[in-house]
Amino acid sequence: MDFFQTNINLGEVFVQLLAFVTIFWALRSFAWKRILKALDTRRELIKSEFDKIESAKKENESLHLEYANRLQKIEEEARGKLQQAIDEGKEIARELQESARKEARAVLEKAKEDISLEVAKAKVTLRHEIADLTLGATEKLIREKLDETKDKELVLDFIEELEKLK
């Protein structure tokens, strides 16, 4: 307590107290409403900023969901288009295979026709050669040659009779 008694002067404390009360009364009378109004304005400004932030957060979340949905739709469309391209590729491959089969059948039929024509030509050529050989053999046997067209006709008739027997 000695410290307080030696260092504290009651007159000074009273003057300071009186100065504090006077300044408090002056501020309360003249500036208190302005200070409170400024604080209220500041409080409202802060509150509106927080509301804007909350609104922006909600909008951001809704945009995020919307973008996620759009992204999923885009992925689904991409999968659908990819599947469609695969299906089209399979269809083209099937058409190419069918076309190749048709061409192969056509080539085979053409080859069969060509073979048939060649066989027919070979038969005719063989017939004429046999007729010529037969005439030559007959000529050697008879040692004289009669009319060549008549002889060929006789030999061809003979060959036809042989074919009928087969």
- Domain-wise residue ranges, the chain: 32-165
Lookup result for tokens 């739709």: 73
SS3 at position 89 = helix
pLDDT tens-digit map of 119-141: 888 888 877 777 776 776 676 55
Residues of the chain short of pLDDT 50, as ranges, are 143-144
Per the rule left: phi > 0, alpha: psi between -120 and 50, beta: everything else, 8 is beta
Furthest C-alpha separation in the chain: 182
Neighbours of 43 (CB within 10 A): 10
pTM of the shown model: 0.40
Give Cα separations from 62 to 39, 56, 69, 73, 83 (angstroms): 34, 10, 10, 16, 31
pLDDT recorded at residue 53: 96
Q: How many angstroms separate the CA atoms of 27 and 166, rounded?
A: 144
Q: What is the pLDDT of residue 139?
A: 65
Residues 102-118 pLDDT 10s: 999 999 999 999 999 98
In angstroms, the CA 121 to CA 30 distance is 134
Look up residue 30 and give its DSSP letter.
Answer: I
Q: How far is CA 111 from the centre of its chain?
A: 43
Q: How far apart are CA 7 and CA 112, in angstroms?
A: 137
